[in-house]
Amino acid sequence: MKLVSGTVCELFLSSDLLYSQVNVDGAVRLRFESFNNMNDKYYGTNPKTGKSSDSCLLTRLRLGLTYKFDENFKAKISLQDARALGWGFNNDNWYNKEFKQENNPQRDYFELNQTYLQYQNKNSTVTIGRQKIAYGDNRVFGPGEWKNAGKWIWDAVKVSYKNEDNYLDFFYGATMLHDPDKFSLEHRHGYYGGGMYGHYAYRKTAAAEPIFAYKQNKRSNEAYISMKSYYAGFRLYDANLYGYFYDMTYLKSFGDFTKLNNTTVDIDGVGVHIEGGFHLKSLNTKVCLGYTYASGDNPATSDRETFDGAFGASDKYYGRLNLMSWSNLKDYELFTMIKPMPKVKVKIEYHKFYADEPTGKWKSYTIASMQNDHYGDEVDIVTKYNYSKNINLMLGLSYFDSGDYIKEASTKNSFIINDNAYGVFTQFQYKFTTRK
């Protein structure tokens, strides 16, 4: 009897130990989107591909398992299934000339997601494998996960050193391409690159963050022969300076770009973001003014001056309709964030968008001899309700009032119609983890 009870006790303890070493996590996200007079690639009621009034249900399921070998080593494996039901695009509409294969922002069928081996001690962490690389406000390095498949995920080696609130990270790897018809281990990567990101906290609410990155594509393709771009800059912010706040990012791009005619030109771009405002604590509100700049290509020079945003997310910064990105842009912004109830947040944004260079690229268009630079104005209202620790809901409404750029462009490109656009989305998300 003692032997049986001892065996049962050992099994119980060993299973409890195994449970403490294993963590299961997952997430389900459902989002309905509807757009009028625009889609993910084109603007107007006569798009070259897709629908001019596009409505779809985006579904995304993630499931992961993490095993902790000991106090220093752990491994993670996870899968993602992302689908777009009723979307106005076929998979082959997302053939990418730069990589000579599909790179779909909304679809990944049973794809390998974060999967890595990690070593960690008191001050250092080394992560090898598929991983997200995100820093700061995600403007320079961010996964771009508003897109259903995600914009950036890396197969990389990352080394991190942390000392209290300060850290310094280095990484090198390659970005994964999202091809729903192929498992990612069977097709090649997109960009190869790496970077450095630091964080020095000079106040409890403030920090300085030095930034360096590079990305490269040496494979000759349908867009160019080769490209190697470097980025250097910084971010400074203070989230609460006597009731005020500010956030600044500066990034300079430089390097070499070899055109299809075998002519090599210098890369010379600049990206800037500045915002500042104040807290109204008695009203649970903050108000902010912002300005974003990204250089476009000046046709009068030989340099390639279009700033391309490095590896950042652009899906929540330059209007929720995603008509703009951190490239060839001047964005004058006013927004307020209100917390009317403990679980509810409302953000109201107003954007006034201009092209830095009207002849530069916008969405899927590049139109020569453009004179007007005002893309238009956008108003966004997004409400988030945190129902519980695991469940949150979102509702968003957006309206875009087209400007003189679109009016002029509609006279030169039959796929652009001079009209306004609007969109609506509603989202449900459930997350869980067995970690206590």
pLDDT tens digit string along 176-209? 999 998 888 877 899 999 999 999 999 999 999 9
Residue 263, classified by CB atoms within 10 Å of its CB into exposed (0-12), middle (13-18) or buried (19+), is exposed
Residue 16: pLDDT band with limits 50, 70, 90: low
Q: Measuring CA to CA, how many Å separate 294 from each of 50, 137, 270?
A: 28, 17, 6
Q: Using an 8 Å Cβ cutoff, are 329 and 348 in contact?
A: no
Tell me the pTM. Answer: 0.91
In tens, the pLDDT along 18-62 reads 556 999 999 999 999 999 999 998 898 888 888 888 999 999 999
> Residues near 81 by Cβ (< 8 Å), separated by ≥ 6?
59, 60, 61, 62, 108, 109, 110, 111
**Residue 153: how many CB atoms within 10 A of its CB?**
25
Confidence grade of residue 433 (pLDDT, cut at 50, 70, 90) = very high
- Give CA–CA dist 296/329, Å, rounded: 7
Per-residue pLDDT at 3 exceeds 50: no
Q: What's the sign of the alpha-carbon dihedral 152, 158, 163, 166?
A: negative
Q: Do 415 and 44 meet the contact criterion of CB atoms below 8 Å apart?
A: yes
Q: Which pLDDT does position 4 carry in this prediction?
A: 47
Residue 337 has pLDDT above 50, yes or no: yes
Integer Cα distance of 301 and 105 in angstroms: 33
Give the count of alpha carbons within 13 A of 123, CB side only: 6
| Overall average pLDDT of the 158-162 stretch | 97
**pLDDT given at position 423:** 96
Give the per-residue pLDDT at 13.
44
The reported pLDDT for the residue numbered 366 is 87
d(CA 40, CA 322): 8
Q: How do beta strands 374-386 and 391-402 pair?
A: antiparallel
Contacts of 90 (CB under 8 A, 6+ apart): none
- pLDDT score recorded for residue 67: 96
Q: pLDDT at residue 412 above 80? A: yes
Q: Name the one residue in this structure whose structure tokens are 């963050």.
A: 209
The 10 Å CB-count burial string (b at 16+, else e) for 285-323 is ebebebebbbbbbbeeeeebbbbbbbbbbbbbbbbbbbb
Whole-number Å distance between alpha carbons of 419 and 58:
26
How much is the pLDDT for 20?
A: 66
pLDDT recorded at residue 311: 95
pLDDT at 8 over 60: no
- Tell me: pLDDT of 10 over 90: no
Residue 291 has pLDDT above 50, yes or no: yes
CA 191, 194, 200, 204 dihedral sign is positive
pLDDT confidence of residue 185: 83
Which pLDDT does position 45 carry in this prediction? 84
| Residue 1 predicted with pLDDT over 90 | no
| Mean pLDDT rounded to a whole number for the chain | 92
How confident is the model at residue 48, as a pLDDT?
A: 85
Q: How far apart are CA 382 and CA 348, in angstroms?
A: 7
Q: What would the two tokens of residue 49 be?
A: 């591909």
Nearest to 423 by CA among 297, 322, 289, 312: 322
Average pLDDT over residues 330-348: 96
- In the chain the domains, ranked by start, together with CATH numbers, are 22-433 (2.40.160.100)
Reported as a single tens digit per residue, the pLDDT across 99-157 is 999 999 999 999 999 999 999 999 999 999 999 999 999 999 999 999 999 999 999 99
Indicate the residue type of 377.
D
